[in-house]
Amino acid sequence: MAENHPFVLPVFYQPYPARLNPNVEGARVHARVWAKEMGMLDAPAEGGGVIWDEAELDRHDYGLLCAYTHPDCDAPALDLVTDWYVWVFFFDDHFLDAFKRTRDMKGAKAYLDRIPLFMPLDLGPVPEAENPVELGLIDLWQRTAPGMSTGWRKRFLESTVNLLFESLWELTNITTDRVANPIEYIEMRRKVGGAPWSAGIVEYAVGAEVPDAVAYERPLEVLRDTFSDAVHLRNDLFSYEREVTDEGENANAVLVFERFLGMGTQEAANLVNDILTSRLHQFENTALTEVPILAADKRLSPPEQAAIALYAKGLQDWQAGGHEWHMRSSRYMNDAAQRVLGGPNGIGTGAARISMSGLKQHSREPFRKVGPIALPEIHLPYELRLNPLLDQARRHGEEWAAAMGFLAPDPALPGSGLWDREQFLGFDFALCSAGIAPEAAQAELDTSADWLAWGTYGDDYYPAVFGRGRNLAPAIAQHQRLLEFLPLDLGPTPVPANPIEMGLADLWQRTAAQFNERARAEFKATVTVMLESWLWELHSENQNRVPDPVDYVEMRRRTFGSDMTMALARLKAGREIPDAVFQSRPIRAMETAAMDQSCLVNDLFSYRKETEFEGQIANAVTVVEEYLDCGPVQAMDVVNALMSARVEQFQFIAENDLPPVVAELDLDADEQRALDAYVLSLRDWNAAILNWHRFTARYQDDKLRPLMMAGPGAAGGPRAFPKSATVEPEAPKEFKLPATATAGLRPPSWKDYLRRASDAPAPVATANPTTAATMRR
């Protein structure tokens, strides 16, 4: 590589061979003619000259890109796909020239507001085009949409709007000279980078749409998001020199990690490649272990299952072809192509770490001895406000928990008595609720504390009852039972059979009755998301798999119950705040920033409890340890830095991004007051959770004890451990993965998860070092 390049390209994980569509030459010719007809060639640039000429278009070679990323479609389909990519790359360069370089926010907003008008879902009339981007979009939509379903049109319109409108986020960061934090960057790059949009093109190219019934289920979302993140991170590695050095952009993952972790460019590039590799492993794991379960659970027909398989294969082909094109296109730093693509690429070379990275995710031994660790100083500049009705809420909480069977074994309630009264009083959930709802009336405060108690009980109940076996059938059965306790019409429910069902039955009736049918459905969706996330935790634990870092952050919001607790505040405020406010990017970004801050607080405080006493691996500190190959102290510092960055992002949005939303939607004084109160409630939420962690006995070293075990159907309740913290359980034998075990390992079959509780135990779920080969076959 030439000496003037900022770093050497890392060795990439590329398990799928790139294949070239034989219709490539026709696509090249067609793209050239089409771009000319749409006015894209020789379109004038703001500073003089043109944005593209024919030679520039040829150098980019979008025909080659699409021939590599869609190797199996016929010539007409390849021509249309190539035109879409010519259009989207022209938009990117045109927007850069007209608005990013000139910092013209007002003009950019007006320009983008017109784009959805040219993609009518009903295929109706459109306005007259005013520029090549609009003219090209009219032509492309008329050639594509009639052959696709309404569901596809909605999804594709959404991804197109995100792709184009989130360019304003990039423009804002450029204008303020702001580099995003890693969590924010991955989240926003997924929208502005366009890969979800590319996933929609894949559906067209392979001739198989994702079934509407499951399009928004977690496994399909993960396939799309892991595909997207891998595409974008790969692009960031190749485009760093052009974007950061030449164009002055700051939306690049390498730059983000340089700034956030204070590391050199080469080291940051290597880390970006590690995360890229992890996302590809997550894609494989989801395709092989989660999609089949979804298909069985939703009873998808053979054609629907085949459509998902073709879609997954299309995403896989795109990854391989996109990499090959990046190695050849003139847009990118790629003069080390032969060094990366050629030469040895097996065990014993520099690629060994990459090739074994999937297996390494499954090799962490649980129940590691941690010992007391001093927590870093946590920065949270919010004032804590406590509800004066706290003491009464504490008394109510103790009575309610006892009535639900949380505190003492009850022969009529299998699995009851997971906690004792001393533990519950030390947990002090009412203290947390008193900070979350400092102005609430007594009944509302009591209900809030009861939801926290129930959610925490469920968080302990699932691993205690289901988590030490290899058969998830009882957990799935329990999940399906819990959904029956959430009737939208508040009608009859089954008779509760255990404490977790009894608590949910009571809380649902008390809470949902306050909402109208629409709000009730929204709240039910958030409870369902949390319940599903508990199954995800068990799924990861049963594979002994350290979560992918991106997947972990996004799922942690669900396992923590963030959506549910925020929904209570949102639905209350929603009576005065327009829906458009809650749907805006600033509010959504503030919510996720607040969620992450509190989730990571919990991970810091619970690290020893979960790691040493419960043998869990789903913790942010553990994830950072594994991916940065560092010790727990350094990992805690990184987690703390992420928390601080999310707080700073929250404040930045409140000060800079929220006022334009208020102005654009023309909120009146009452609506603005309600919005201010909602933002304050998010700050209260963060302050209350941090305060609770500092005072609760749940994570205090002298109160820690192994998680009590309660087998499914055990009428006698849990097996109690002594109340001292001196018990040091040995790691269960089935959790250990020998370092030399590289043969005969496999991921769990979907049949393992859906077998009846009376069936023989499922085989141990372990890693598969040849996952990629399995997918190819």
Instruction: Please answer whether residues 486 and 508 qualify as being in contact, where contact means their C-beta atoms are separated by less than 8 angstroms.
Output: yes
**What are 596's two structure tokens?**
């992450």
**Predicted confidence band of residue 334 (pLDDT cuts 50, 70, 90):** low
- Determine the angle formed by the axes of helices 182-192 and 150-165, rounding to 10 degrees: 120
pLDDT band (50, 70, 90) for residue 344:
very low
Q: Which residue has the higher pLDDT, 108 or 521?
A: 521
Q: What is the pLDDT of residue 322?
A: 92
pLDDT value of position 470: 61
Name the helix (H) or strand (E) containing 10.
Answer: none
Q: Which of the four pLDDT bands, split at 50, 70 and 90, describes residue 627?
A: confident
Out of 77-91, 109-123, 577-591, give the one with best mean pLDDT.
77-91
- Whole-model pTM: value is 0.83
**Would you state the pLDDT for residue 479?**
93
Kindly indicate the confidence band of residue 204, based on its pLDDT and cuts at 50, 70 and 90. Answer: very high
Give pLDDT, residue 17: 87
Q: Are 384 and 687 in contact (CB under 8 A)?
A: yes
pLDDT at 750: 35
- At residue 775, the pLDDT reads 28
Average pLDDT for residues 669-673, to the nearest whole number? 93
Higher-confidence residue: 614 or 363?
614
Residue 359 pLDDT exceeds 90: no
Strand partners, 50: 44
Q: What confidence category does residue 336 fall into, taking pLDDT thresholds of 50, 70 and 90?
A: low
Question: In this structure, is the dihedral angle defined by the CA atoms of residues 118, 147, 92 and 229, taken in order, positive or negative?
Answer: positive
Helix residue spans in 575-614 (DSSP H) = 579-583, 585-608
pLDDT, mean of residues 296-309 = 94
Q: How many residues does the chain have?
A: 777
| pLDDT at 358 (0 to 100) | 63
Burial code (b: 16+ CB inside 10 Å, e: under 16) for 84-98 equals bbbbbbbbbbbbbbb
Calpha distance 8→18 (Å, rounded): 22
Q: Worst-scoring range by mean pLDDT, 146-150, 353-357, 618-622, 722-726?
A: 722-726
pLDDT given at position 555: 92
DSSP secondary structure letters along 457-511: HHHHHHHHHTTTSS--HHHHHHHHHHHTT--TT----PPP-SHHHHHHHHHHHHH
Q: What is the DSSP letter of 342?
A: S
Which residues share a beta bridge with 93? Answer: none
Q: Which residues pair with 410 in a beta bridge?
A: 413
What sections of 484-584 are H helices per DSSP?
Answer: 499-512, 517-542, 549-559, 562-573, 579-583
DSSP secondary structure of 634-674: HHHHHHHHHHHHHHHHHHHIIIIIHHHHHHHTT--HHHHHH
Looking at residue 329, its pLDDT comes to 73
pLDDT for the residue 398: 97
Which residues, 6+ apart, have CB-to-CB distance to 200 below 8 Å?
152, 155, 156, 159
d(CA 679, CA 545): 36
CA distance 137 to 119: 8
Tell me the C-alpha distance between 13 and 273, whole Å. 8
**Does 400 have pLDDT greater than 70?**
yes
Top pLDDT among 692 and 327 is at: 692
pLDDT at 564: 87
Residue 765: per-residue pLDDT = 27
pLDDT tens-place string over residues 442-466: 999 999 999 999 999 999 998 888 8
Mean pLDDT of the chain: 84
In this prediction, residues 669-679 reach a mean pLDDT of 93
Question: What local confidence, expressed as pLDDT, does residue 266 receive?
Answer: 93
Tell me the pLDDT band of 3, cut-offs 50, 70 and 90.
low
What element of type H or E holds 683?
helix 669-695
Give the model's confidence band at 574: pLDDT under 50 very low, under 70 low, under 90 confident, else very high.
low
Q: pLDDT-based confidence at 363, cuts 50/70/90?
A: confident
How far apart, in whole angstroms, are the C-alpha atoms of residue 369 and residue 381? Answer: 34
> Given its phi and psi angles, is residue 9 left (phi above 0), alpha (psi -120 to 50 degrees) or beta?
beta
* pLDDT the model gives residue 567: 80
Range among 53-62, 255-264, 597-606, 621-630 rated most confident: 597-606
Confidence of residue 98 (pLDDT cuts 50, 70, 90): confident
- Res. 738: pLDDT tops 90: no
Q: Which of 421, 405, 390 is nearest to 454 (CA)?
A: 405
When mean pLDDT is compared across 38-47, 342-351, 711-720, the lowest value belongs to 711-720
> Which residues, 6+ apart, have CB-to-CB distance to 716 below 8 Å?
409, 411
For residue 448 the two structure tokens come to 């809030």
Task: Tell me the CB-side half-sphere exposure of residue 8, using CA atoms within 13 A.
Answer: 7
